[in-house]
Amino acid sequence: MSFLRNRAGVILVGAIGLAIVAFLVGDAIKMGSPFLRGNQTDVGEVAGEAINIDEFRQKVEQNEAQFKQQMGQSTLNPQMASYVVENTWNQTVMEILLNKEVKRLGIEVGETEMSDMITGKNPDPQVVQAFADPQTGQINRSQLTAFMNNMRNQDPSSPMGQQWGNFLLSIRKGRLFQKYNNLVKNSIYVTSLEAREDYSQRNKLASFNYVNLEYASIPDSKVTLTDNDYQEFYNKNKKRFLNREESRTFDYVVFDASPSKADSAATRAQINKLAADFRTTPNDSLFVSVNSDTKTPVAYVKKGQLDPALDSAVFKAAVGTIIGPVFSNGAFKVAKVVDVRMSPDSVKASHILINPATVGGIDKAKAKADSILGVIKKGGSFAELAGKFGSDASKDKGGDLGTFGRGAMIPAFEEAVFNGKPGDIKVVATQFGVHVVRIDKQVGSSRVAKVAVVDKTVASSSQTQQTAYSKASSFLSAATNSKSFDEEIQKHKLRKLVAENISPSQSAVAGLENPRELVRWAFEAKEGDVSEKVFEIENTYVVARLNDIREKGILPLEKVKKEIEPLVRNHVKARMLSEKMEKALAGASSINQVASKVGRPVQPVQNVVFANPIIPGVAQENKVVGTVFGLQLRKMSKVIEGEQGVYVVQLNGFTNPAPLTNTFSQKQQMSQMIGQRAQGQIMEVLREKADVKDYRLKFF
């Protein structure tokens, strides 16, 4: 006791220190970071160069914005978002690797070359695209000159200056990578001998006879596989088992929490009540904004633009009619016909957009728009005023927006141009600013309806979700280990699903909308682990068990044993059938004698080329066709172990193609093919040589 009293402080400090170390080490082992998975601020590392998560996220956000614009969507589903992350990662890795190669080789783009790429005789394609005349498709030199003069007066740190700087950086990178690709492409050389050989392989025809014994002729039950059989096949085919990326396989059970019949009935009752109120509301837009799940703007639409469940009924109904409720795409919908009229099919318009942020607010923007409108009405040039006061890209085209149909513009702007007449000039306020709009032309005429739509999505109630969660929790409590996991599945007659060879970046698992949390768990768990919690994924609850971990590199035999079983069985059958075929081959002077001994017919084959080693009616047999092209006329081969069985072949003859007198075109064709492959393989080779570390799983 005296010893403990005297040493209590030291013991306590030591115990606390040990606990802290254990906590940190345990956390690192469990989470795989920072000791096992790199720095917490890095999303990866390429050839020793770290990729900062903040910079990477910024690239992802930029690419997401572009993708949304291209797809015409305001949001991305989990699969699309994952696709953007994957593309951004590949772009980033490629840039780092190619930058290192360019620097190593001393490839540069000088100031004179940069100037020539912008204003020279052969400008960069991106410059042509940015300053092209829409009428001719050629670069507009006067527009480019005016822009360059304007840029000389811009502060490089201004938004426009930064945008131009990024553009220059982009075309410089493009030129550097083009030079690198050309360097690789120009290093490709095809000799005349290679050209003649390729020509022969594609055009020399072989005719032969064969006799075969198929593996299917021996029942699987008659073949007993030994460990030596597996080991022999594995040793001969190790390269087949290269795993290029670490992967996981897990079993999982899904407990469905989708809306029940009671949930659907409750939503129907709710929409029925709204339909009654909808009929008498004095403000349709406000009613939709307050009560609808999707808040679709009240606007004019053409036939075919509405949900099919509503479309036909709307265009047959009178003004004021309530249509529905109807059920479509998981929601109950009610539509109100506010107005019906004839309207142009498309409109050509121009505008001058005043940005409130740059003129001191919305009131000043409206005042400025009114002032511009007054100048135009007195004879001022719309195009000149657009170039002077406009704040979007159309100002460089005199405000011209081109021709567009309904649905292309926001509702307030659309209503102004479709409900006016050619020559009208109006001031319209939208969320983008204040527009001075001129209707240049209206084309066609169709019946349109102004429709207000209220919808209510059928969602799972808390009771439905709680019932599903309770089942999942009960299952997890009982399935404490790998064995009990299977026992509980059988006991409750549940369906076991398998996610096989899942990669760290995988965004899709059968039956699950967004499984990233589950994938992250799989890469942190140990083989045989059951998930420590119930995963909530959209309208499902999931419990999983990790079955298999496959590290990057050559997989060990035990990891591929089950997969290669059919191949090993065929290999053993080949050994058995080869013995039979070799006995028949011994002493035989013709293939007919061999066929007679094994009780199989002789099969003739005509006009097979080396470059396409397919035996008609059988399969692709590389070894068999390769052997044929190495045989002497009328000679029989030894026994060949093929893909579908064992074979003996006898060459009947070759039909040689016309002599290749000029190898130029053949060499050119081969060079193009190899060059195309080379461009795709550059990154593959560079990635293999670089030490690429991917930590995205921590963040995405």
Q: Is residue 175 pLDDT above 80, yes or no?
A: yes
Q: Is residue 359 pLDDT above 90, yes or no?
A: no
Same domain, 566 and 532: no
Buried b (16+ CB within 10 A) or exposed e, 141-180: eeebeeeeeeeeeeeeeeeeeeebeeeeeebbeebbbeeb
Give the pLDDT confidence of 567-595 residue by residue, as tens digits: 999 999 999 999 999 999 998 999 999 99
pTM of the model: 0.67
Predicted confidence band of residue 39 (pLDDT cuts 50, 70, 90) = low
Largest CA distance in the chain: 110
Mean of the per-residue pLDDT values for the chain? 88
Domain presence at residue 685: no
Same domain, 155 and 118: yes
- The pLDDT value given to residue 165: 86
Give the pLDDT confidence of 389-424 residue by residue, as tens digits: 888 888 888 999 999 988 788 888 988 999 889 999
Same domain, 408 and 428: yes
Closest CA to 250 of 510, 31, 586, 66: 510
Q: CA dihedral defined by 359, 363, 364, 368, rounded to 10 degrees?
A: 110
Q: Higher model confidence: residue 573 or residue 697?
A: 573
* Least confident range of 136-150, 179-193, 504-518, 616-630: 136-150
CA gap 617, 216 in Å, rounded? 15
- CA torsion sign, 398 to 404 to 408 to 414? positive
Are the beta carbons of 534 and 472 closer than 8 angstroms?
Answer: yes
Same domain, 469 and 540: yes
Residue 611 tokens, joined: 């470059």
| Domain end (from 381, 409, 443) | 443
576 phi/psi in degrees, rounded to 5: -65, -45
Mean per-residue pLDDT, 63-92: 85
SS3 for 281? Answer: coil
Give the pLDDT confidence of 120-153 residue by residue, as tens digits: 888 888 888 888 776 677 788 888 888 888 888 7
Q: How many residues does the chain have?
A: 700
Q: Where do we find the tokens 């190495």?
A: 630
Same domain, 220 and 289: no
Same domain, 132 and 214: no
CA gap 618, 137 in Å, rounded? 54
Same domain, 393 and 427: yes
Amino acid residing at 659? P
Q: Is residue 26 pLDDT above 90, yes or no?
A: no
Q: Where do we find the tokens 């393989």?
A: 681
Q: Is residue 16 pLDDT above 70, yes or no?
A: no
Q: What is the DSSP-derived secondary structure letter of residue 530?
A: B
SS3 for 523? Answer: coil
- The pLDDT value given to residue 27: 44
Q: What is the DSSP-derived secondary structure letter of residue 494?
A: P
Domain presence at residue 93: no
Q: Higher model confidence: residue 161 or residue 306?
A: 306
Domain presence at residue 47: no
Are the beta carbons of 459 and 263 closer than 8 angstroms?
Answer: yes
How many structural domains compose the chain?
Answer: 6
Same domain, 350 and 415: yes
Same domain, 254 and 273: no
Same domain, 535 and 472: yes
Same domain, 284 and 338: yes
Closest CA to 241 of 231, 228, 226: 231
Helix (H) or strand (E) holding 311: helix 308-316
Percent of the chain beyond pLDDT 90? 60
Q: Is residue 11 pLDDT above 60, yes or no?
A: no
Residue 111 domain boundaries? 107-186
Tell me the HSE value of 683 on the side-chain side, using a 13 A CA sphere. Answer: 11
Q: Is residue 305 pLDDT above 70, yes or no?
A: yes
Return the CATH number at 331.
Answer: 3.10.50.40
Give the pLDDT confidence of 95-119 residue by residue, as tens digits: 999 999 999 999 999 889 999 999 8
Residue 536 tokens, joined: 């909530």
Same domain, 330 and 297: yes
Q: Is residue 20 pLDDT above 60, yes or no?
A: no
Amino acid residing at 391? S
Predicted confidence band of residue 35 (pLDDT cuts 50, 70, 90) = very low
Return the CATH number at 503.
Answer: 3.10.50
Q: Is residue 600 pLDDT above 70, yes or no?
A: yes
Strand duo 535-537 + 540-550: pairing: antiparallel
- The pLDDT value given to residue 134: 64
Predicted confidence band of residue 227 (pLDDT cuts 50, 70, 90) = very high
